[in-house]
């Protein structure tokens, strides 16, 4: 049997591909274990600055848990990693979902785990498991409200309705919509753009934004300030480069 998950280094990116197109890239127990292993490889590889998560076949990003093999998932429900592999873990580096086609149920929860989400214009997203009484247990109830707000999140969580890429973009669920079959290419462009930035300060800002969410403002500001001394030398070096005329017209990721 082929590996259900492929891990490839493409430039500064680690591309993690769910490779079960015959099952719309649904995740069974073996696939969840392979996803956890791929996450570990990414975290251990200092040269991999961004993880890009995608699905093979051009039909689906991921259709969620494989409901024809729920028995293989039973032992993962309460684990620290998460049923679908790594959904209860927080990566130390940026992550991008490259979505092409169906992004449903636990597959949408995997996309929500990522920092950024890039989808083709024909993609469809939602939580249809509502119809079968399957709960959201891979972070969807917590991450979706943080991304789109509680009202919009409850709309999708309670109704189980499916939305197209345009509506997902309008509510802030998607970072960008791209043409058919180009989501992975665009995600890799973003990855190279993020990798080109000075890493120390970018990662410190990312940590503060994630850890500070939900804290009272004064606590969040204190958390942000605490990173200042550790990255001050990097900030000074960057300011000196700017003063010398470097990078003033440079394009960042997504430009």
Of 195, 217, 235, the one marking the end of a domain is 195
Q: Six-digit token pair at 10?
A: 């493409």
Percent of the residues in the chain that have a pLDDT greater than 70, as a whole number: 91
Supply the pLDDT for residue 233. 67
User: Is the residue at 248 inside a domain?
Assistant: no
User: Is the residue at 227 inside a domain?
Assistant: yes
User: Is the residue at 255 inside a domain?
Assistant: no
Closest CA to 123 of 96, 156, 97, 100: 100
Q: Six-digit token pair at 198?
A: 């000075």
- Say whether pLDDT at 255 is over 50: no
Which residue has better confidence, 228 or 184?
184
Place of tokens 């403002």: 217
The H or E element spanning position 104 is strand 102-104
Neighbouring residues of 245: CB distance < 8 A, sequence distance ≥ 6: none
User: Is the residue at 250 inside a domain?
Assistant: no
Output the CA angle 84-66-42, nearest 5 degrees: 30
Segment 21-79, tens digit of pLDDT:
999 999 999 999 999 999 999 999 999 999 999 999 999 999 999 988 878 877 777 78
Kindly state whether residues 205 and 191 are assigned to the same domain. no
Kindly state whether residues 13 and 65 are assigned to the same domain. yes
Q: How sure is the predictor about 243, in pLDDT bands with cuts at 50, 70 and 90?
A: low
Identify the active-site residue in 109, 121, 176, 246.
Answer: 109
246 is catalytic: no
- Say whether pLDDT at 201 is over 50: yes
Supply the pLDDT for residue 116. 98
Kindly state whether residues 9 and 87 are assigned to the same domain. yes
User: Is the residue at 205 inside a domain?
Assistant: yes
- Alpha-carbon span 19 to 35, nearest angstrom: 11
Of 195, 210, 235, the one marking the end of a domain is 195
Boundaries of domain holding 239 = 198-243
Segment 91-119, tens digit of pLDDT:
999 999 999 999 999 999 999 999 999 99
Supply the pLDDT for residue 161. 98
Q: Kindly list the distances between the CA atom of residue 76 and the CA atoms of 136, 138, 226, in Å, as whole numbers in the listed order.
A: 14, 11, 36
Kindly state whether residues 83 and 207 are assigned to the same domain. no
- Alpha-carbon span 113 to 16, nearest angstrom: 14
Q: How sure is the predictor about 253, in pLDDT bands with cuts at 50, 70 and 90?
A: low
Neighbouring residues of 168: CB distance < 8 A, sequence distance ≥ 6: 119, 123, 125, 174
Kindly state whether residues 205 and 190 are assigned to the same domain. no
129 is catalytic: yes
DSSP 3-state assignment of 108? Answer: helix
- Say whether pLDDT at 11 is over 90: yes
CA-CA-CA-CA torsion for 48, 54, 55, 60, nearest 10 degrees? 180
User: How many structural domains comprise the chain?
Assistant: 2
Place of tokens 């580096």: 93
User: Is the residue at 249 inside a domain?
Assistant: no
User: Is the residue at 239 inside a domain?
Assistant: yes
Kindly state whether residues 33 and 128 are assigned to the same domain. yes
Kindly state whether residues 78 and 167 are assigned to the same domain. yes
Provide the b/e sequence for 74-89 (b: ≥16 CB within 10 Å). Answer: eebeeeebbbbbbbbb
Kindly state whether residues 182 and 234 are assigned to the same domain. no
Supply the pLDDT for residue 248. 55
pTM of the predicted structure, to 2 decimals: 0.92
Supply the pLDDT for residue 231. 73
Supply the pLDDT for residue 251. 47
Kindly state whether residues 73 and 142 are assigned to the same domain. yes
The mean predicted confidence, pLDDT, of the chain is 92
- Say whether pLDDT at 232 is over 70: no
Q: How sure is the predictor about 211, in pLDDT bands with cuts at 50, 70 and 90?
A: very high
Kindly state whether residues 112 and 182 are assigned to the same domain. yes
Kindly state whether residues 177 and 209 are assigned to the same domain. no
Kindly state whether residues 16 and 132 are assigned to the same domain. yes
CATH number of 134's domain: 3.90.226.10
């Amino acid at each position: 049997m082929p590996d259900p998950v492929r891990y490839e280094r493409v430039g500064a990116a680690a591309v993690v591909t769910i490779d079960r197109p015959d099952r719309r890239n649904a995740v069974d127990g073996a696939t969840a274990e392979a996803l956890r292993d791929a996450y570990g490889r990414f975290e251990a590889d200092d040269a991999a600055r961004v993880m890009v998560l995608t699905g093979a076949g051009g039909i689906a990003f991921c259709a969620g848990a494989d409901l024809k093999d729920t028995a293989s998932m039973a032992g993962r429900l309460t684990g620290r990693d998460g049923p679908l592999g790594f959904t209860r873990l927080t990566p130390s580096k940026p992550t991008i979902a490259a979505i092409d086609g169906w992004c449903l149920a636990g597959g949408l929860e995997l996309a929500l785990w990522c920092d950024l989400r890039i989808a083709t214009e024909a993609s469809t997203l939602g939580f249809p498991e509502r119809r079968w009484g399957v709960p959201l247990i891979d972070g969807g109830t917590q991450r979706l409200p943080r991304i789109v707000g509680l009202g919009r999140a409850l709309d999708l969580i309670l109704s189980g309705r499916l939305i197209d890429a345009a509506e997902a973009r309008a509510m802030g669920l998607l970072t960008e919509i791209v043409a058919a079959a180009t989501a992975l290419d665009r995600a890799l462009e973003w990855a190279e753009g993020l990798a080109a930035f000075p890493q120390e300060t970018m990662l410190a800002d990312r940590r503060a934004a994630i850890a500070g969410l939900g804290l009272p403002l004064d606590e969040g500001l204190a958390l942000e300030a605490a990173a200042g001394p550790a990255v001050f030398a990097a900030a000074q070096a960057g300011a000196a480069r700017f003063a010398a005329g470097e990078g003033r017209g440079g394009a960042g990721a997504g430009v």
